[in-house]
A and B are shown apart, each in its own frame.
Chain A
Amino acid sequence: MSAGPDTPAALWRRNLPVWAALMALLALSAWAAYWPFKTLNTVTGFAIAGAKAGLVLLVFMQLRRASGLVRLAAACGLFWAAILFTLTLADVLSRLAGG
């Protein structure tokens, strides 16, 4: 819980900067897409998406101050998605490389 008086203004002060950062990242993302580097653009695009997701998760979804159990649930989703990606792409990439 944040310290200080619980007023609407305090809530706005806590959340508005996050929103501003999200907007800035969005603008950066759209701008970066026009850079003349192909791979780098893709990487940047998804890195910025990751950063935005991190902000929303930690602040708006309150993972920052969530219980360990809730964090574990969130991590499980990501871990199993990683299994799915890693093993499937292991096949897809090696087939592409071999062909």
Chain B
Amino acid sequence: MSAPVAASPTGLADRDELDLGLPPSYLADGHGVGSWLLTTDHKRIAILYAVTITLFFFLGGAAATLVRLELFTPEADIVRADTYNKLFTLHGVVMVWFFLIPSIPNTLGNFLLPLMIGARDVAFPKLNLVSWYLNVGGGLLAVAALLAGGVDTGWTFYVPYSTVFSNGWVSLTVLGVFTTGFSSIATGVNFIATIHMLRAPGLSWFRLPLFVWAMYTTSLMFVLATPVLAVTLLLVFAERSFGLPIFDPARGGDPVLFQHLFWFYSHPAVYIMILPAMGVISELITCFARRRIFGYTFMVYALVAIAVIGFFTWGHHMFTSGMSSYAALVFSFLSFIVAVPSAIKVFNWTGTLYRGQVGFESPMLYALGFVGLFTLGGLTGLFLASIPVDVHVQDTYFVVAHFHYIMVGASVSAYFGGLHFWWPKITGRMYPETWARFAAILMFFGFNLTFFPQFIAGYLGMPRRYHVYPPEFQVWNVLSSSGAAVLAVAYLMPLGYLTWSLLFGERARNNPWDASGLEWRTSSPPPRDNFFGAPRVQGGPYSYHPEGVAPIHDQPRIPAQGSLT
């Protein structure tokens, strides 16, 4: 600790002062496996989640790599058809339920939510730990199914294929996802109660950072959508394992009903993945544009509107499924409506840059990339909401490209952006900025090279989940697979340099970005109890410049949002 550290602009205690009798950081507060596996500290639980989702991310990524390798040529040359089917199922199940759904909420959310609202911890710390164990337990069941021989149903588990015809380990996988669903519900209950009950004095609803609002709306969807998935999967489990014929067409069961229930969860699940990302991006863009967010209240309303209307639109996954044409029209209409608040958010992020002091640190590169990728992903959503176009592109690579733009392009960019932004706070170390910028740019181009050709292949008629394909699609698949190679490198780079920074990175100041927000008003990394005194809040978020005045570079920040007593 002898390295001289510049005093932080907040004038708060820095590491040098920490040695003078202040409590140790949460990382130093207890050692040994037990102090981690039995912790109720939201910050340590966030780290636990980060470790597990990283493992799952690279597991799912390995499956995707094999899929893309196989698709390099039209023929089957690397894996057999059954293996291929198991690979894309593994990729989908692992990425959706064990990486994307818990990614931002359970790592960044868990770490930051109490800090951002000035609380000591979440409302139910033990439940928080239980939630992690449920997630890990579910993940282990799913991995066990993989080791035992795999599953070939696709992540959608459509009946009657999953209940009667598939030869894979469907029951075990379904049980794993079922279990991890309760992890989501526990997290949702915890976050909602935390935000309602534990905000610091003075922190009214419309002073909350947008990330907190994003966590709130995400939790709402966790709580209200996940139980329906649990039931749906339970029914698949019961039908397969105990012969209870809920969806058996031969006995009058209706496979379309399964799809309704499945998508009642799984469409909101897309918003579960993207709302937290929107929250992260709002934090990043304001900080690196040194600008108050443009249209704060509209941003809040947009988040809430997406969360609520998102529940009304699931039917657009079923336009070709034999659903009634009247219901299809209703769902088409509602799907167009839900795009409006998303558009508002894009315009507001853009507006935030106007007359700012825009810097290009790596989190901002991720954020700017996010806005572009999210815009393209969102716009292609309009194609899928239009029934005639959807009939053509449903279950083709167009759909694959669309949801990867949202779930990977946007969501994962935001995750990496947030991870870099809060890395100094989480670990107390700085990462190598040049490497980080390079990775962010590489990721953006690798992503577009991977997935943009899939839009074209899809409109040309290449169906998804095809092990072999007609040769006229090869050019697009070669482009896509090459992009995937670039993307894989870009995803591996942060693993390298972030690990390096843990050991050799420069010590981080308390507020290296000079950002607003309560989480920056404590040490890096924070102590077990988060703050050295009880925070009080006197103003709104994003106080990067005085109200009614444009940001000026190097102007001393006014400590409007939080002050420690």
Contacts and interface: CB of A to CB of B under 8 A. Distances in A.
Verify whether A and B have any Cβ pair under 8 Å.
yes
Interface of A: 69, 76-77, 80, 83-84, 87-88, 90-92, 94-95, 98
Contact of A92 (B220, B257, B312): B257
A80 B227 CA distance: 11
B324 A84 contact: no
A1 to B, nearest CB: 22
Given A69-B196, A84-B264, A91 B311 contact: no
Given A84-B228, A94-B327, 13 more contacts: A80-B224, A87-B312, A88-B260, A90-B324, A91-B315, A91-B323, A91-B327, A92-B254, A92-B257, A94-B324, A94-B326, A95-B323, A95-B324
B228 A91 contact: no
A91 B327 CA distance: 5
Contacts of A80: 224, 311
B312 A98 contact: no
Nearest to A80: B224
Contacts of B196: 69
B228 A98 contact: no
B264 A91 contact: no
Given A69-B196, A76-B224, A88-B260, A83 B311 contact: yes
A84 B315 CA distance: 11
Contacts of B261: 88
A83 B220 CA distance: 15
Contacts of B254: 92
A92 B327 CA distance: 9
B224 A98 contact: no
A95 to B, nearest CB: 5
A6 to B, nearest CB: 28
Given A69-B196, A95-B323, A98-B324, A90 B330 contact: yes
Interface string B251-293: 0001011001100100000000000000000000000000000
Contacts of A84: 228, 264
B228 A87 contact: no
A90 to B, nearest CB: 5
B323 A87 contact: no
Contacts of A95: 256, 322-324
A28 to B, nearest CB: 31
Given A92-B257, A95-B323, A87 B224 contact: no
Contact of A87 (B220, B256, B327): B327
B155 to A, nearest CB: 21
Given A69-B196, A98-B324, A91 B224 contact: no
A87 B324 CA distance: 11
23 contacts: A76-B220, A76-B224, A80-B224, A83-B311, A83-B312, A84-B264, A87-B260, A87-B312, A87-B315, A87-B330, A87-B331, A88-B257, A88-B260, A88-B261, A90-B324, A90-B327, A91-B323, A91-B324, A92-B254, A92-B257, A94-B327, A95-B322, A95-B323
A91 B312 contact: no
Contacts of B323: 91, 95
B512 to A, nearest CB: 38
Interface in B287-330: 311-312, 314-315, 322-324, 326-327, 330
A12 B331 CA distance: 51
A75 to B, nearest CB: 12
Contacts of B331: 87
Contacts of B330: 87, 90
A92 B257 CA distance: 8
Which 6 A-B pairs give the minimum distances between C-beta atoms? A91-B327, A94-B324, A95-B324, A80-B224, A88-B260, A94-B326
Nearest to B221: A80
Nearest to B322: A95
Contacts of A91: 256, 260, 315, 323-324, 327
Nearest to B189: A73
A88 to B, nearest CB: 5
Contacts of A77: 224
A87 B261 CA distance: 11
Contacts of B327: 87, 90-91, 94
Interface string B228-263: 100000000000000000000000001011001100
Contacts of B315: 87, 91
Nearest to A99: B324
A98 B324 CA distance: 8
B71 to A, nearest CB: 35
A69 B195 CA distance: 13
B221 to A, nearest CB: 10
B484 to A, nearest CB: 37
A91 B264 CA distance: 13
Nearest to B260: A88
A76 to B, nearest CB: 7
A94 B331 CA distance: 14
Which residue among A69, A87, A95 has the maximum number of chain B CB atoms within 10 Å of its CB? Answer: A87
Contacts of B260: 87-88, 91
B324 to A, nearest CB: 4
B544 to A, nearest CB: 33
Nearest to A91: B327
Contacts of B312: 83, 87
A97 to B, nearest CB: 8
B123 to A, nearest CB: 13
A77 B256 CA distance: 24
Contacts of A87: 260, 312, 314-315, 327, 330-331
A18 B224 CA distance: 31
Nearest to B328: A91
Interface in B322-351: 322-324, 326-327, 330-331
